[in-house]
Amino acid sequence: MENTPVIDLKTQRYDRQLRLWATSGQAALENAKVCLLNATATGSEVLKNLILPGIGGITIVDEKMVDRHDIRTNFFLEPSNISESKAEAVVNLLKELNEAVETQFVNKSAHELIHQEPSFFDSFTLIVASNLHASDLASLARICETNKRILISVSSKGLCGAFRIQTHEHTIIETHPENASDLRLNQPFKQLVDYVNSFGDLDALDQTDHAHVPFIVVLLIFVDKWKAEHDGKAPLSYAERNQLKENVRASMRTVDEENFEEAISNIWRLSGSTNIPSDIQSIFEHPACTELNSQSNYFWVIARAVHDFVINEGQGQLPLSGKLPDMKSDTKSYVGLQNAYRQKALDDLQSVTQRVNILLDQFNIGNETLPLDAVETFCKNAAHIKLIDYRSIREELEQPKLDLIENLLTSDENMAYYIIFRAADRFFTEHQRYPGTIDGDQVDDCEDDTNEVALLKEQVIKTLEDMGVTSGATLAEEYMIKQITNYIRFRDHETANLAALMGGLVAQEAIKLITRQYIPINNTCVFNGIASTSSVFNL
């Protein structure tokens, strides 16, 4: 009886997520420290969704005591917690979800730490600011911008919510595209050509072998025949590709020969461009890539090495990933094809690795900055790497994208909620309370409600004026009034369902940012729970 490999408890616990972001992503997650400012329902849901996959540690900052409003919306508070420290109460229940996560709480206000102890935030990987006052958020954003810390600001009121990401330039190697195969059918490499030639004449194969020739081989054989009959020219036009399809179909020995059907359905790959994608070219032209120094991040060192490879031995092409899609074939033929791609990928990897080592020596960059297998991972994903250059919150406030904002105000109704959130912060600055509340209590009668709508509308107008938006570029007044009324109706309170949803959205983006895998949004997301729609704005 064969011995069954023993799977450790940690791998069993995190099995599903390890399939999503592998051990490298899990390690990044477990080394990350997250700080939550304000133990709101939404903030608690964010931490829940980070604790479950095994974030390294969390710290909650909140000076308030639990009240009756808190226990109505926050599942991590109980009636017995009333009058207790909110930060401590939430931490005590959250830590039950995963004992491996370090948990701490600080009974201080976010305002105090931001303005009196800014160094407090230096030890964190990511800071989540939940329903933080605009002035405090602006100060915190400057701290995070200076210290290159990830900041996510999230606000949730009633059935609408918004969050905003601020971070330094964000580079991603493993973007996990749906189709990562790079078959090079329009420019086959030597190893592939040699393998295709090993099949000889397809007509000479018996029925079994004929039905198991990989579609890549079938395609390239028919392309070679086409070139021989057309002065060496490949089938590029729509009509020519259709004719090639007919040629392949005519060679099928049965009506359902799957490998030939696959060849026909993949003829479009012959027209694939071998040019470097524009977003990859922009990375190669980025100053961080062209002007390396001793402090350069490993991403830029490898990017520079790949760029140099492309213009030299790569002959204008990126390193081959070596990945193959599933296809109809027998094991022997598929393994042979796989070996051809793997050998080319290994040759490219070796060339890039040599260039990386030369650059490390040239710019006196320590090898310890280069994670294990980083060059290999980069080469496998070279066609899909990503750079997101986030605007800071300071830039958003000081240099608003006027044309974009005016366009969104007339084309995307969710932009109204972004403006209303901004106007509500302005309302607080002027009245020392949020719309729909008086001295912390909710407004009850319709007359007061109407007054609140008028007051918030006034702040909306002032907010738009601050941005430089002209009066003719706003949403229809009745729609804006409707959105303002909806906002005020919830009296500055969160709802449990939207808090859970926003918590999931923010945690998902946080994991992308921490693991540097998958592509996070850039940079603002607004969710409208009334219409069940969401919008992403690059503000």
Least Cα distance to 120 among 106, 135, 138, 137 occurs for 106
**Which of 443 and 250 is assigned the larger pLDDT?**
250
Distance from C-alpha of 333 to C-alpha of 321, rounded to nearest angstrom: 20
The string over 44-68, giving b where at least 16 C-beta atoms fall within 10 Å of a residue's C-beta and e elsewhere, is bbbbbbbbbbbbbbbbbbbbeebee
The confidence band for 232, taking pLDDT boundaries of 50, 70 and 90, is confident
Query: How many Å from the N-terminal Cα to the C-terminal Cα in the chain?
Result: 62
User: Residue-wise over 299-320: b if at least 16 C-beta within 10 A, else e?
Assistant: bbbbbbbbbbbbeeebeebbbb
What is the per-residue burial (b if ≥16 Cβ within 10 Å, else e) of 79-95? eebeeebbbbbbbbbbb
CB atoms within 10 A of CB 450: 13
292: its two tokens: 């390396």
One-letter identity of residue 420: I
- CA-based nearest residue to 426, from 472, 464, 480: 464
Predicted local confidence at residue 1, as pLDDT: 45
Q: Work out the widest C-alpha separation in the chain, in whole angstroms.
A: 90
Given this model, what pLDDT does residue 446 score? 47
Each residue of 409-465: pLDDT tens digit? 888 889 989 999 999 899 888 888 888 876 555 545 444 677 888 888 888 888 888
For CA atoms 141, 77, 161, 507, give the dihedral sign: positive
Average pLDDT for residues 136-141, to the nearest whole number? 96
pLDDT digits (tens, 9 = 90+) for 276-311: 889 999 999 999 999 999 999 999 999 999 999 999
Q: Residue 113 CA to chain centroid, in angstroms?
A: 30
Cβ partners under 8 Å of residue 197, min gap 6: none
The sign of the dihedral angle between the CA atoms of 105, 110, 114, 115 is negative
Q: How far apart are CA 200 and CA 502, in angstroms?
A: 59
- Side chain identity, residue 227: K
Top-confidence residue, 437 or 5: 437
pLDDT tens sequence across 17-71: 888 888 889 999 999 999 999 999 999 999 999 999 999 999 999 999 999 988 9
In the numeric block, which tokens belong to residue 186? Answer: 């329009």
pLDDT, tens digit (0-9, with 9 covering 90-100), for 480-504: 788 888 888 887 788 999 999 999 9
Q: What percent of the chain is modeled with pLDDT above 90?
A: 65
Closest CA to 525 of 435, 509, 486, 490: 509
**Distances from the Cα of 237 to the Cα of 220, 226, 243, angstroms:** 17, 13, 10
Q: Which amino acid is at 285?
A: E
* d(C-alpha 306, C-alpha 385), whole Å: 12
Nearest to 152 by CA among 38, 71, 65, 51: 38
Q: Which residue has better confidence, 272 or 360?
A: 360
Task: For each of the domains in the chain, give its residue range(s) and CATH number, in order of start.
Answer: 9-168+496-537 (3.40.50.720), 190-271 (no CATH), 278-388 (no CATH), 393-489 (no CATH)
Burial status of residue 271 (CB atoms within 10 A of its CB: 0-12, 13-18, 19 or more): middle
